[in-house]
Amino acid sequence: MIISNVKSIFDKAREMAPKITLRQVRKRLDMGNIRSTIHRMANAAPSSIASRGRGRPREFDLDAALDKAVRVFRERGYHATSIADLTEAMNLASGSVYKAFKDKRTVFLAAFDRERERRWEKLQRIIIAAKPARERIRDALMFQAESSHGAEGKRGCLIVGTAAELSTFDDEVARRVSSSLRQSETLMVDLIRQGQVDGSIPDTIDCNATARAMLCLQNGMRVVGKTGRSRAEMAAVVDTAMKLLG
């Protein structure tokens, strides 16, 4: 590549003065430019080679692809989803999927982690509002209710679906599911305690038992939402759940 670039300089010079000799071209050329070109190409070569050694750069948005995979797994479950379903949804060739993820299980685990992180970040933005903890608990419950009605509700919840389908037979998946549910329960315990501090929730409420009941209600909404419930029905469940706080 370096030699060809230098030769191109010679060729351009000769085109400008066809009758001069190559020796004359060498004399007339700015040798500083040649040395600069060689130095630049030499420095760039290792990076280029290293890039080729690491393989061709990925040519798709990983998060966007995983978001599409999440939707397939939510609707169909793990076992009913094929690689063909994933490649079609992710708009990728099967070779690209295998290069990035190795197999369907790896795609699933990456999609699970992506969905968990995405929803957790959304929930955090909702409950960070400067309002009494009781109201923030209602907001957290409504966050689940909004995902539990209409077309979105029918797609189901990846975490809840995974708990039912895979956690009994796959230890790694079970750990992920347990961690996610424990995270949600801990958040609810913290919010109830904050409510007891700010006076919006009575001190007599059992934080741990109530948080666990809230967790069951939230996940139950996602299951029932698969049957095509309305927003009003899910909002009514939230109203009932709030009565647990006294």
Q: Which token pair is 3?
A: 């030699």
Whether 61-112 shares its CATH topology with 129-245 is answered no
61-112 CATH: 1.10.10.60
Q: What is the per-residue pLDDT for 94?
A: 77
The Cα–Cα gap between 76 and 168 comes to 18
Say how far residue 206 (Cα) sits from the centre of its chain: 35
Amino acid at 221: M
Q: What is the per-residue pLDDT for 43?
A: 45
The Cα–Cα gap between 108 and 40 comes to 44
- The model's pLDDT over 159-183, given as tens digits with 9 standing for 90+, comes to 999 999 998 889 999 999 999 999 9
Q: Which token pair is 235?
A: 């909002």
Angle at 43 between CA 41 and CA 45, to 5 degrees: 65
- Closest to 82 measured CA to CA, from 60, 105, 112, 99: 105
Q: Which token pair is 21?
A: 């000799």
Q: Is the pLDDT at 232 greater than 90, yes or no?
A: yes
The C-alpha R_g of the chain, in whole angstroms, comes to 30
**Residue 14 host element (H or E):** helix 2-16
Q: In terms of pTM, does the model score above 0.85? A: no
- The model's pLDDT over 138-154, given as tens digits with 9 standing for 90+, comes to 999 999 999 999 999 99
Assign domain 129-245 to its CATH superfamily. Tetracycline Repressor, domain 2 (1.10.357.10)
Q: Is the pLDDT at 50 greater than 90, yes or no?
A: no
* pLDDT above 90 coverage of the chain, percent: 66
Q: N- to C-terminal Cα distance for the chain?
A: 77
Residue 175 CB coordination number (10 Å): 11
The Cα–Cα gap between 151 and 225 comes to 9
Task: Write down the domain spans for the chain.
Answer: 2-53, 61-112, 129-245
Q: Judge whether 236 and 163 are in contact, CB under 8 Å.
A: no
Q: Judge whether 234 and 148 are in contact, CB under 8 Å.
A: yes
- Closest to 65 measured CA to CA, from 10, 111, 7, 5: 111
